[in-house]
Structure 1
Amino acid sequence: MPLILNNNSSFILMNLAFTILIFSLNFLPHDAANITAATTTSPEFSTSVLNVTTALNQVHHVLSLKPSFHLHQNHEQQQQQTQHTLSPSSSSSFSFQLHPRESLFNAHHHNYRSLVLTRLRRDSARVSWITSHLNKSNLRPEHLSAPVTSGVSQGTGEYFARIGVGQPTQHFYIVPDTGSDINWIQCKPCNQCYKQSDPIFDPSTSSSYALVPCKAKQCKDSELTGCYKNGCEYDVFYGDGSFSSGVLVTETLSLGKNGSVKRVPIGCGHLNHGTFAGAAGILGLGRGALSFQAHIKASSFSYCLVYRDTNKSSTLEFNSPRPGDSVTAPLLSNPKLKTFYYVGVTGVSVGGRRVSIPSSTFAIKPSGMGGIIVDSGTTVTRLPTPAFNAMRDAFVELTRHLRRAKGFLILDTCYDFSSVTVATVPTVSFELSGGGSWRLPVLGYLIPVDDKGTFCFAFAPSVEPVSIIGNVQQQGTRVSFDLVNSVIGFSTDKCS
């Protein structure tokens, strides 16, 4: 006798069959399960494929990297003979190389878990520093480019650039930082200095070194500077207790094959303390008057942060055109806190579905709180707790078929991929107020935290109402800041 099913019973059986299929995958041979994960997607939501094997191979690779900072020295000596002077008011483009921290200054961690722990501790200090500024504020041209390497950030730091200082040129690794308004390096004589990879800058050997007098406009342009007996001095303090204090000077900065820029305001630090991982100081890319791009009157700058577990590099560029495939949003400013770059965001999506978060969550309030900052120094993206919970819960709902793992410090949503080579996961996107959607690379939101196959959702809650887009989410994406038209652009796979 044929079995007759009504609509309700058909629906129940279909769901039962899907449940049995998912359950049985856990008991398939690994190769069969991997093939299914790589080729099966749900018609109900959009997915990305995480190549677990490739990511773990890179994890093992980064632990074996040898420091490479010494490789630049001979090349730099050759470049010194061919430099030309760049005018701060010109519109030509130039760039620096950017390098990840571990490719230059491997700290010889015993395992990858230890490395991630160190990164997250630096990250917490960075976030504390940013929120302290927010709370305090609530109370009161040339196309240039340079290499960007994953390395240190302010009080932390995951990416480095190489620049020359003085005449004749002395070369140093520094941390490009969109959250800093002032450039500075450690200088002799050192009353107190932390250990750096290059010899400390000696101003007495530079013919282009000049003190900034108290009456100069540069000495009055920032709350970080003040007039003392010996002229203009500066003080910078960070959230983890790091600091730099010294005199404000002007110096020639050399940009490799791009040439040099004269009379750049830079702090010469005689009293310094911090965890800057071998870097000599900071290249300030914030919106303040003493920052590097303010001095050169840049119309734009951009960077692409390579994945931090590689030994590749990308570029920090000035006055270069924005990639044509960029998704864009308004570049906003906070009148209460002018240092940081805010982006117009209306929401987030998981699996192609808009998460139920009020758009006002990402708006800058009249008090100066709220908004969402794009920051090169923060590691893990922070969202206000209600917004984070909604996003996290949406992700968990669409990953019920994946094996969970214990949380890892601030990362409370983790997965055990130790028995698979690929995993299919929901997509994650920021919905921009310009109407576009910035879809993150899968390693921009699921990151390995050990060498065994534990991956965690790289977002964390913030007790403050401000949101911060960190450098994990920015990996593999060229982030372009159009300073003239107040537009920010995101273009994936533009690091080469």
Structure 2
Amino acid sequence: MDPPKRPLFLSLLVFFSFASLAHATGVFHVRHKYLHRKRAIADLRAHDARRHGRILSAIDLPIGGVGLPTDTGLYFAEIGIGTPSKNYYVQVDTGSDILWVNCATCTACPKKSDIGIELTLYDPKGSNSATLVSCDDNFCTSMYGGEMLDCSPDKPCEYRILYGDGSSTAGFFVKDFVQYNQVSGNHQTTPANASVSFGCSAQQSGDLDSSSEALDGILGFGQSNSSMISQLAAAGKVRKVFAHCLDTVKGGGIFAIGNVVEPKVKTTPLIPNMPHYNVNLKAIEVGGAFLQLPTDLFETGDKKGTIIDSGTTLAYLPEAAYKQLMNAIFSYKSNLNFRTIQDFLCFGYTGSVDDGFPDVVFHFENSLSLNVYPHDYLFQNEDDVYCVGWQNGGIQSKDGKDVFLLGDLVLSNKLVLYDLEDQVIGWTEYNCSSSIQIKDDETGAIYIVDAHRISAAGGLETFFTRQTRR
């Protein structure tokens, strides 16, 4: 009798870099979805308006269960699915829970995309490894908290997601292989795959069927048991820990699943039983002075705490906090000529914004702070014209509730760690175009993974390293 095999764990690394998609066959590639076109600043609001309406809304799943919010992200990955494997472009999103792709039988799914990629419809019948997930499957009953009504072994596990902006997606779950490369040493990979249950979208409505930002689907990194990271963790293939680092200087970065050992990251607890990554914000500091805000402002409505979301571009604050923050920032410069450009507050300025304006610091539970510099919250729209990235959350919220929602504006150029095993999140300032260190728990080896080794032309690579639980 053969001895039992030790369970393997994987560490997934995604490099955000404008690199050629023609290289590294079989690994995941990720690109910025606006790579081929210059974005108007109105696109920032439009993206967040769609996302904000969805992320703040309860999701209607008629077949039962809790809401699983999902939405578009700023980056997308090229993944392989099926046998033989075909490539699909899916948005990478920490605010989503499931992986889903458009299905061959889809009604009103986009047939083309305006962002320079070729769309592919997934056909379970065309994959030798695909199986339908039935309604009595453990994945389905776990996802919805019990067996659905009128369930029979030949009935598929169906889903329907309604978003706050009126768009929707519906379909059924399929189980198939997702392709990736496994790191076996420094810059050494071997091909591998994992069996994952994911959504096969058969219907779409609203802006999900638009070709303007169309992709093949969404790859969610949320906390629910239906997310890919949760499935891989349950199968003993990964630790339920991931991190990302978005580089605004060179357009690169890192997205990693697994045991990141360097740099070290200080953390704060996640608020329990929340559908998103919510944390307790305690205070806001501008130029060394704390804003005088009521403590209950940090726990507004039923959206308790502050949402950390890499799929949101800007940063949204409740009106009371927004007004105090803006007054404090611009008290440093009283002679600016303000104007509105595409609904953004903008002004002319010829000096260094880092020299002329104050740093903003968010203070969280467990003495974790988040520094936001003027070059982060003031973005240059044209020569000598800067616009403000802070947004009035009270205006943006469709349900009338003020929230703190912090997106890429404050998260860029930081390594952000999500530890779902210990239910904490944290970050540290970091050069996102440099390397990180990951540990192979089976061998104890620490691998250096360098984002610079990706060529400068457009994509990300995603690698897995073996890890085993002690």
Match of 1:267 in 2: 199
Q: Is 1:75 the counterpart of 2:12 in the alignment?
A: no
Q: Is 1:465 the counterpart of 2:402 in the alignment?
A: yes
State the SS of the aligned residue for 1:249.
strand
- Distance between the aligned counterparts of 2:76 and 2:288, measured in 1? 35
How far is the alpha carbon of 1:423 from its aligned partner?
A: 5.3
- Would you say the 8 A contact 1:405–1:454 is kept in 2? no
State the SS of the aligned residue for 2:121.
coil
Provide structure 2 residue ranges, at least 5 long, that are not aligned to the other structure: 1-16, 184-190, 234-238, 395-400, 434-470
How far is the alpha carbon of 1:270 from its aligned partner?
A: 2.0
Alignment counterpart, residue 102 of structure 2, candidates 186, 190, 193: 186
- Would you say the 8 A contact 1:388–1:459 is kept in 2? yes
CA separation of 1:400 and 1:328: change in aligned 2, threshold 3 A: farther
Query: Comparing both chains, which one has the higher relative contact order based on Cα–Cα distances under 8 Å and sequence gaps of 6 or more?
Result: 2
- Distance between the aligned counterparts of 1:434 and 1:486, measured in 2? 13
CA separation of 1:436 and 1:243: change in aligned 2, threshold 3 A: same
- Would you say the 8 A contact 1:382–1:468 is kept in 2? yes
Q: Is 1:245 the counterpart of 2:170 in the alignment?
A: yes
How far is the alpha carbon of 1:117 from its aligned partner?
A: 0.8
User: Counterpart amino acid of 2:213?
Assistant: A
State the SS of the aligned residue for 2:159.
strand
Alignment of 1:168-317 (within 5 A): 168-194=84-110, 195-196=112-113, 197-198=117-118, 199-223=120-144, 230-258=155-183, 259-273=191-205, 274=208, 275=210, 277-297=213-233, 298-307=239-248, 312-317=251-256
- Would you say the 8 A contact 1:98–1:305 is kept in 2? no
How far is the alpha carbon of 1:248 from its aligned partner?
A: 0.6
TM-score (norm 2): 0.73
Aligned length: 379
Q: Deviations over 1:403-460 (max 9, x none)?
A: 3321345544x3212x446652211111121113221243321122x22332222111
Provide structure 1 residue ranges, at least 5 long, that are not aligned to the other structure: 1-66, 81-95, 141-152
- Would you say the 8 A contact 1:218–1:290 is kept in 2? yes
CA separation of 1:257 and 1:329: change in aligned 2, threshold 3 A: same
- Distance between the aligned counterparts of 2:414 and 2:44, measured in 1? 20
- Distance between the aligned counterparts of 1:474 and 1:73, measured in 2? 30
Q: Is 1:484 the counterpart of 2:421 in the alignment?
A: yes
- Would you say the 8 A contact 1:430–1:438 is kept in 2? yes
How far is the alpha carbon of 1:368 from its aligned partner?
A: 3.0
Q: CA RMSD in A?
A: 3.1
More deviation, 241-250/224-233: 224-233
- Would you say the 8 A contact 2:59–2:161 is kept in 1? no
Match of 1:453 in 2: 384
Q: Deviations over 1:105-129 (max 9, x none)?
A: x2x45xx5xx211221121111111
Match of 2:312 in 1: 378
How far is the alpha carbon of 1:494 from its aligned partner?
A: 3.8
Alignment counterpart, residue 443 of structure 1, candidates 371, 375, 378: 375
State the SS of the aligned residue for 2:270.
strand
How far is the alpha carbon of 1:68 from its aligned partner?
A: 7.5
Q: In percent, how many aligned pairs have the same letter?
A: 25
Larger radius of gyration between Structure 1 and Structure 2: 1
Match of 1:340 in 2: 276
Higher helix share: 1
- Would you say the 8 A contact 1:254–1:260 is kept in 2? yes
How far is the alpha carbon of 1:325 from its aligned partner?
A: 4.6
Q: Deviations over 1:172-192 (max 9, x none)?
A: 221122221211011213322
Alignment counterpart, residue 337 of structure 2, candidates 398, 404, 407: 404
- Would you say the 8 A contact 1:123–1:380 is kept in 2? yes
How far is the alpha carbon of 1:296 from its aligned partner?
A: 1.4
- Distance between the aligned counterparts of 1:277 and 1:477, measured in 2? 27
Alignment counterpart, residue 160 of structure 1, candidates 72, 76, 84: 76
Match of 1:331 in 2: 270
CA separation of 1:422 and 1:127: change in aligned 2, threshold 3 A: closer
User: Counterpart amino acid of 1:404?
Assistant: N
Match of 1:349 in 2: 285
Match of 1:44 in 2: none
Alignment counterpart, residue 391 of structure 1, candidates 325, 330, 351: 325
TM-score (norm 1): 0.69
- Distance between the aligned counterparts of 1:68 and 1:470, measured in 2? 21
Higher strand share: 2
State the SS of the aligned residue for 2:230.
helix
User: Counterpart amino acid of 1:398?
Assistant: Y
User: Counterpart amino acid of 1:459?
Assistant: W
State the SS of the aligned residue for 1:485.
coil
- Distance between the aligned counterparts of 2:177 and 2:46, measured in 1? 35
